[in-house]
Amino acid sequence: MDLPEGLDWVRGSPAGRTWLAALPTWLNECAERWSLRVGPPFRQAYASLALPAHLPDGTAAVLKLQYPDEESRYEADALAHWDGDAAIRLLARDPARRALLLERCQPGTPLHDLPPDRALDVVIGLLPRLWRPAGAPFTPLAQEAAGWIDRMPRAWERAARPYERRLLDAALDLLTGLASSQGEQVLVNQDLHAGNILAADALTADRGPWLAIDPKPLTGEREFSVVPIVRGPELGHSPAAVRHRLHRLSTELGLDPERVRGWTIGHTLAWSLADDTVFPEKIEVVRWLLDAD
């Protein structure tokens, strides 16, 4: 298959190679099951194979074959929970193949194409619609944070200590305190950055014009939900830009800025290492927020 370059990393593990070997069969089976006309894969994929498709009646859709990671396990459940409100609609699913049939955002322009403050306007309008009470099957943020706390010191050692010990200690302390003292639990998305919100002008006006895609859902307090926007480089990567996003989102959404700051430090450092890969821009965000005082 002509895979996007962003999926090259899956070739590095036995599980990834097994998944790649199964993709052609699963793709053909899903296309037949749902009577789809399927086009070449979207090139910007990094964690799943996503392809434009058309239903028999001509409706534009997306066929998504997920890499079987834990963070996206309940993506379909989150989309079903939102039922098209502020997020793309799930049309069908095949759990055995981790396949999702989704409506397609058109024109599909990413939010980061807007000027930064106009993009924040969109986020401020979108997030309260996504904050819905939820329980099973979604993983609680406290449970996920316990996993980060457990894994981070070992990952730091394996990666040859790529950042200062003070960053690790601060993140562990913050995560421990925040996880046990949360407010009301709602459905949150730990990957809602400005590339995962797309223009959907062609869909009904009461749902658009911007919709969330690709959720990695948890249940947790609202303060956690703005972390990907605060840290993400899509709307500007500088100390001033990060602090501005934190301040504006906290103020206009009625969130506790210190809890937003703490979650951003902890989650960003937890996601700064992936196997043998170090993400320096995430480490920079942690330094900027810790040194803000």
Dump pLDDT digits (tens) for 43-84. 887 889 999 999 999 999 999 999 988 889 999 999 999 999
Residues labelled as active-site residues: 191
| Separation between Cα atoms, residue 152 and residue 285, nearest integer Å | 17
| pTM assigned to the model | 0.94
Nearest partner of 282 among 245, 227, 226, judged by Cα = 227
Give me 221's structure tokens.
């307090």
Dump pLDDT digits (tens) for 222-263. 999 999 999 999 999 999 999 999 999 999 999 999 999 999
What pLDDT is recorded for position 8?
A: 86
Dump pLDDT digits (tens) for 165-192. 999 999 999 999 999 999 999 999 999 9
What pLDDT is recorded for position 204?
A: 61
Residue 10: pLDDT band by 50, 70, 90 thresholds?
confident
Give me 269's structure tokens.
């450092």
Nearest partner of 98 among 147, 50, 36, judged by Cα = 50
The conformation of residue 234, written as its DSSP 8-state character, comes to G
- Contact of 253 with 127, CB cutoff 8 Å: yes
| Separation between Cα atoms, residue 158 and residue 211, nearest integer Å | 38
Dump pLDDT digits (tens) for 110-130. 999 999 999 999 999 999 999
Q: Determine the Cα angle at 277 with ends 22 and 243, to 5°.
A: 115
Could you tell me the residue ranges of all domains in the chain?
5-103, 109-291
The answer to whether domain 109-291 has CATH 3.90.1200.10 is: yes
- Contact of 200 with 88, CB cutoff 8 Å: yes
Fold of the CATH domain 5-103: Phosphorylase Kinase; domain 1 (3.30.200)
Q: Please provide residue 165's backbone torsions phi and psi, each rounded to the nearest 5 degrees.
A: -60, -30
